[in-house]
Amino acid sequence: MTSKTLSRRGFLGRTVAACAAPMIVSSSVLGRAGAVPPSERITMGFIGLGGQGSGHLFSGGWTYVPGGYLGRDEVQVLGVCDVRQERLEKAQQRVNEHYANKAGTGAYASAEAYRDFRDLLARDDVDAVLMALPFHWHGLMAILAAKAGKDIYSEKPIALTIREGRTLVETVQRYGRVYQAGTQQRSEYGGKFRRACELVRNGRIGTLKEVYAYRPGGGFEPKLRNASKPGISVPEGLDWDLFVGPGPWQPYTGGNAHCGLFAFGDPNWGPHHYDTVQWAIGNDQAGPVELDVQDGHAVLRYENGVAVHACAFPDEPVGEVGGACFVGTEGRVAVDRDRLVADPPDILDEPLGPDDTRLYESNSHSGNFLDAIRTRKRTICDVETAHRSMSLVLLAGMAMQLKRTLAWDPVKEEFPADAEANRLLSYARRPGWQI
């Protein structure tokens, strides 16, 4: 790969120059008056500053903490990165204004701005990165971040192919990094999703038979977007070559600079649904053994006989908003971000007993990530768990692409003796972006 990564000497030279001016800082910046001292703060970089990324950084509907990561005293934002210059400059200005106001001086600057993410990853003083990117970028960039020694919070989809997801798992584990996927339903929404999964795990609906995931699956699709439109000049301030990155090259047409450039189906919202499915089934580390298409939707069948339908449960609206419906021999439970319901309703009345299975509890997804960075414990949606959930999305997508029964080996992560299906497990990255 031809690297534009900032050299250590170049970085230090820039840092010395930036720090040459006199600076007056408040006692809170130095860690006095009860504030978190700089030596104990988690230093972070933010890559991708669109709606999702800036929401994490500054506060959005999915961060659940006033002020986002920037508002956390235990975090210091050292870098922001985006291929769009306007977004980049605005984010840098806003971060530095925040810290200047906090320090009580207009001369305090914290965050450097980077067009190329590799320059940010080259910094030895950045502990962790949060990535909210075009879908085809998440897997590769997280792999490179792990190799650079960074802990990682990755928005969905965490990868667009199963082999990319497996490489991500192996790399994160090899380099001993903390990884959190952005499936925040495991932590937020008053514990409704954890409660639903515990009810299923503990047999409150009898033996689990069917699950309805409400979303169709999806995956990688290399086709040219807006193919009928001729290429036009790339707007000033947009690094189109870096936006396309590992995907197959295509010219800028004015309408193809969007997150799902190389995706089909629902690989972004779907992971929320299928993550809940995996959590309740109890197969965070495994997956189905057969894929099929039934009544126009994918069906994923597990070895224990459970069938996961990539569609809604008839006449049950609960499950549409990030959730699922679980049907057993003695009732059903459905959950989403708005409601937790059961049939019969008294399934919800009986509390868990002392010997019942209890699942990993977290009340803050971002807080869980930061705590894991400090303690090096496993996050609530670690890399293996996230990969297995994402695999369900991708497998459902492949079933719809091939429209036939497929045998799947969840241990080897391949279709036995099926070359046509196995070709869908990966794609050839653009030269310069191979792993």
pLDDT of residue 24: 36
pLDDT of residue 21: 36
- In the sheet that holds 324-328, the strands lie side by side as 340-343, 331-335, 324-328, 208-212, 307-309, 297-301, 290-294, 406-407
Domain 190-218+267-353+383-425 has CATH 3.30.360.10: yes
Are the C-beta atoms of residues 180 and 369 closer than 8 Å to each other? yes
Which among 34, 254, 190, 6 has a CA at the least distance from the CA of 115? Answer: 6
* Cα of 283 vs its chain's centroid, Å: 19
Tell me if residue 291 falls in helix, strand or coil: strand
How many of the other CB atoms lie within 10 Å of CB of 411? 9
Would you write out the chain's pLDDT as a tens digit for each of its 435 residues?
333 333 333 433 333 333 333 333 444 444 444 567 777 899 999 999 999 999 999 998 777 888 999 999 999 999 999 999 999 999 999 999 999 999 887 767 899 999 999 999 999 999 999 999 999 999 999 999 999 999 999 999 999 999 999 999 999 999 999 999 999 999 999 999 999 999 999 999 999 999 999 999 999 998 776 666 778 999 999 999 999 999 999 999 988 999 999 999 999 999 999 999 999 999 767 899 999 999 999 999 999 999 999 999 998 999 999 999 999 999 999 999 999 999 999 999 999 999 999 999 999 999 999 999 999 999 999 999 999 999 999 999 999 999 999 999 999 999 999 999 999 999 999 999 988
What is the domain partition of the chain in residue ranges? 190-218+267-353+383-425
Give the DSSP letter string of 194-225. Answer: HHHHHHHHTTTTSSEEEEE--S--EEE--PPT
Q: Which of 119, 166, 165, 164 is nearest to 145 (CA)?
A: 119
Q: Which residues neighbour 28 within 8 Å (Cβ) at sequence distance 6 or greater?
A: 35, 102, 103
Query: Among 52, 60, 362, 51, which residue's Cα sits nearest to residue 184?
Result: 362
